């Protein structure tokens, strides 16, 4: 069986109660068949559209992704989409991107692991936050994102991990920006619980990752509330997520886009960051992103307990 491949980008734009997440990309399945795709979450609805590779192009310099008539760059996203159930038009401009610190040891959020050629999945952060301007029309309804915020990341490889949690938020009163992910990562015959996380506040970056000693200390979901804690010797990050239900998306398995997952783009988040025992930041964010996937049990149940110590995320009593 041939090894598959995928590459996808995540463009998130939000203002007030409105959020648009666009995921353009392409993939090659184990049968060698290639196609491109565009996944969208617009407020509380999700969409998946597939296109032949002839309707896809990607340039790294200048950075440009085209899927059908939609164009994505590091400076803008342009939509011209007419598909069953969705008419999406508009242009969104991006302000200066906020990149994370990079060095020879840590060229990106993956740190030294980015040099390993056999990684199942590579994650990259292109912007922790930036301003957005412009508007879109969704089935004739205008949504103005001017004065809002954006986030940009990407993934590539052959498959998403067996189990993972990802969350991101840049709508805090303090101006903080954060991203946190933990996943079961295969490294040859071993499987490790990998962690990558960043909090930006006041021009300073706080990073917690496997390569600087960070470990997953807590991952619990109960009664529609998810709590995650990661820590290394210097910093400890606690996250509490509520009011989520999640929309349906697809993730790659050996390059084939056929694994269902759930992502919410409108969670409430409580965040606390400590330097040893000193509280550095305590804040509450809005419209946080939250994506989760657990490895199915042999009975093909939707979730196992490899990451969550209690039952998986579900709709909370207050409608989240």
Q: pLDDT digits over 212-228, tens only?
A: 999 999 999 888 899 99
- At residue 252, does pLDDT exceed 80? yes
Please, which pLDDT band fits residue 190 given cuts at 50, 70 and 90?
Answer: confident
Q: How many helices (H) and strands (E) does the chain have?
A: 0, 22
3-state secondary structure of 113: helix
List strand residue ranges (DSSP E) for 99-176, in order: 121-138, 141-144, 148-157, 164-169
Residues 12 and 2: their CA atoms lie apart, in Å, by: 33
- At residue 251, does pLDDT exceed 80? yes
Residue 171: how many other CB atoms lie within 10 Å = 21
Residues 157 and 3: their CA atoms lie apart, in Å, by: 10
Task: Give the range among 142-146, 151-155, 259-263, 279-283 with minimum mean pLDDT.
Answer: 259-263
- At residue 320, does pLDDT exceed 70? no
pLDDT score of 234: 97
Average pLDDT over residues 165-171: 96
pLDDT score of 188: 82
Smallest CA-to-CA distance from 320 within 246, 253, 252, 261 is with: 246
Q: Where are the alpha helices (DSSP H) in 164-257?
A: none
Query: ∠ CA 148-150-156 to the nearest 5 degrees?
Result: 165
Element holding 275 (H helix, E strand): strand 256-275
- At residue 305, does pLDDT exceed 90? no
- At residue 177, does pLDDT exceed 70? yes
Give the Å distances, CA to CA, from 222 to 227, 228, 285: 9, 12, 20
Report CA 57 to chain centroid distance, whole Å: 22
**What's the helix, strand, coil split of the chain in %, to 5?**
5, 65, 35
pLDDT tens-digit profile of 14-48? 999 999 999 999 999 999 999 999 999 999 899 99
Average pLDDT over residues 173-190: 93
- At residue 304, does pLDDT exceed 90? no
pLDDT tens-digit profile of 146-166? 999 999 999 999 999 989 999
Q: Who's near 102: CB < 8 A, 6+ residues apart?
A: 108
> Dihedral of CA 83/85/90/92: which sign?
negative
pLDDT tens-digit profile of 71-113? 999 999 999 999 999 999 999 999 999 999 999 999 999 999 9
Please, which pLDDT band fits residue 187 given cuts at 50, 70 and 90?
Answer: confident
pLDDT score of 299: 38
Please, which pLDDT band fits residue 135 given cuts at 50, 70 and 90?
Answer: very high
pLDDT score of 92: 98
**Mean pLDDT (the chain, rounded):** 91
- At residue 312, does pLDDT exceed 50? no
Please, which pLDDT band fits residue 2 given cuts at 50, 70 and 90?
Answer: low
Q: Are 7 and 25 in contact (CB under 8 A)?
A: yes
- At residue 235, does pLDDT exceed 90? yes
């Amino acid at each position: 069986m041939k090894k598959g491949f995928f590459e996808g980008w995540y463009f998130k734009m939000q203002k007030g109660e409105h959020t648009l997440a666009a995921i353009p990309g392409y993939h090659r399945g184990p049968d060698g068949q290639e196609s491109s795709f565009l996944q969208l979450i617009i407020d509380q609805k999700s969409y998946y559209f597939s296109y032949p590779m002839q309707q896809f192009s990607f340039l790294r310099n200048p950075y440009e992704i085209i899927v059908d008539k939609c164009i994505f760059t590091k400076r803008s996203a342009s939509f011209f989409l007419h598909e069953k159930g969705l008419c999406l038009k508009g242009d969104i401009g991006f302000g200066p991107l906020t990149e994370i610190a990079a060095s020879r040891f840590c060229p990106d959020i993956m740190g030294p692991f980015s040099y390993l050629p056999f990684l199942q999945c590579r994650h990259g952060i292109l912007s922790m936050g930036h301003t957005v301007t412009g508007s879109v029309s969704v089935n004739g309804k205008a949504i103005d994102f001017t004065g809002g915020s954006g986030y940009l990341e990407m993934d590539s490889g052959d498959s998403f991990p067996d189990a993972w949690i990802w969350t991101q938020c840049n709508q805090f009163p303090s101006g903080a920006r954060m991203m946190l992910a933990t996943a079961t990562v295969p490294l040859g015959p071993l499987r490790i619980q990998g962690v990558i996380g960043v909090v930006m506040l006041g021009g300073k970056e706080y990073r917690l990752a496997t390569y600087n000693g960070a470990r997953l200390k807590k991952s619990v979901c109960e009664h529609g509330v998810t709590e995650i804690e990661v820590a290394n010797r210097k910093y400890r990050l606690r996250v509490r997520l509520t009011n989520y239900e999640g929309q349906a998306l697809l993730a790659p398995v050996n390059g084939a886009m056929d694994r269902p997952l759930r992502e919410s783009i409108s969670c409430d988040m409580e965040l606390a960051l400590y330097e040893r025992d000193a509280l550095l930041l305590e804040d509450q964010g809005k419209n946080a992103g939250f994506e989760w996937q657990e490895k199915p049990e042999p009975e093909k149940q939707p979730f196992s307990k490899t990451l969550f110590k209690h039952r998986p995320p579900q709709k909370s009593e207050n409608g989240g």
